[in-house]
């Protein structure tokens, strides 16, 4: 196991977490949470220099969006990461929060408590951090401990495995080609639909 991955999965000394949630939306009973408005509010708060408030909304959105809209599976984080990156250039605490979030989820996966969509989140964060070696090291651990989960995660790291020369690993998890094509196509259609909903919502919020 690499030193960087060990640091991610081993418990660290108690300290104030940059990724601690201190905000949640307040809605009237029965009122639906407006996820697009939360992302729109992030942009407004950034423009006003209220960076901690913007970060808190990002943290809540990352941790809870799927509880309200399962259609955002696999797309909520990549869609929001551009805002995370922009906010991080203005407010250094954001990168630390992103690192802590990545390390928390990496630990969960490496200790056998994770699932494919959580791996997708870690992979997306590592790509943003330009640390794809950490994704590869994590996949290697998952492959050794839980081959079934590795098969579910392989979709997210195929290009990385090819770059590492691990062609056999890709072949091992390829499965039925027709089923794989249908799965990829279905996921792609879901991502497009979710991205369109989010973009339309942000456009409406901005126009308002």
Q: Where are the domains of the chain?
A: 35-207
Residue 2: other Cβ atoms inside 10 A: 13
Task: Name the residue with tokens 């991955």.
Answer: 5
The answer on pLDDT for 117 being more than 80 is yes
Q: CB of 151 within 8 A of CB of 175? A: yes
pLDDT over 70 for what percent of the chain? Answer: 75
Q: What is the DSSP string of 143-173?
A: HHH-HHHHHHHHHHHHHHHHHTT-HHHHHHT
pLDDT in tens, 146-175: 999 999 999 889 989 989 999 899 888 876
Q: What is the DSSP letter of 70?
A: G
Average pLDDT for the chain: 83
Residue 105 token pair: 């989820």
Going by pLDDT thresholds of 50, 70 and 90, the confidence category of residue 191 is low
pLDDT over 90 for what percent of the chain? Answer: 46
pLDDT in tens, 50-69: 999 999 999 999 889 888 88
Going by pLDDT thresholds of 50, 70 and 90, the confidence category of residue 13 is very low
Can you tell me the distance from the alpha carbon of 75 to that of 58, in angstroms, rounded to the nearest whole number? 14
The answer on pLDDT for 180 being more than 70 is no
The answer on pLDDT for 105 being more than 90 is yes
- pTM here is 0.74
């Amino acid at each position: 196991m690499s030193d960087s991955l060990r640091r991610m999965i081993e418990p660290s000394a108690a300290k104030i977490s940059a990724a601690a949630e201190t905000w949640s939306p307040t809605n009237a009973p029965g009122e639906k949470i407006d996820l697009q408005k939360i992302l729109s509010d992030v942009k407004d708060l950034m423009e006003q220099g209220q960076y901690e408030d913007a970060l808190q909304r990002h943290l809540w959105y990352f941790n809870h969006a799927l509880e309200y809209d399962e259609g955002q599976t696999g797309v909520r984080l990549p869609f929001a990461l551009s805002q995370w990156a922009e906010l991080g250039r203005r407010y250094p605490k954001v990168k630390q929060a992103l690192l802590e979030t990545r390390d928390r989820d990496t630990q969960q996966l490496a200790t056998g408590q994770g699932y494919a969509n959580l791996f997708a989140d870690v992979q997306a964060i590592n790509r943003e951090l330009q640390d794809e070696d950490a994704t590869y090291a994590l996949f290697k651990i998952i492959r050794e401990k839980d081959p079934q989960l590795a098969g579910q995660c392989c979709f997210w790291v195929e290009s990385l495995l090819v770059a590492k020369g691990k062609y056999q690993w890709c072949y091992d998890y390829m499965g039925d080609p027709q089923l794989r094509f249908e799965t990829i196509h279905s996921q792609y259609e879901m991502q497009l639909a979710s991205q369109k909903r989010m973009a339309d919502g942000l456009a409406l919020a901005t126009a308002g």
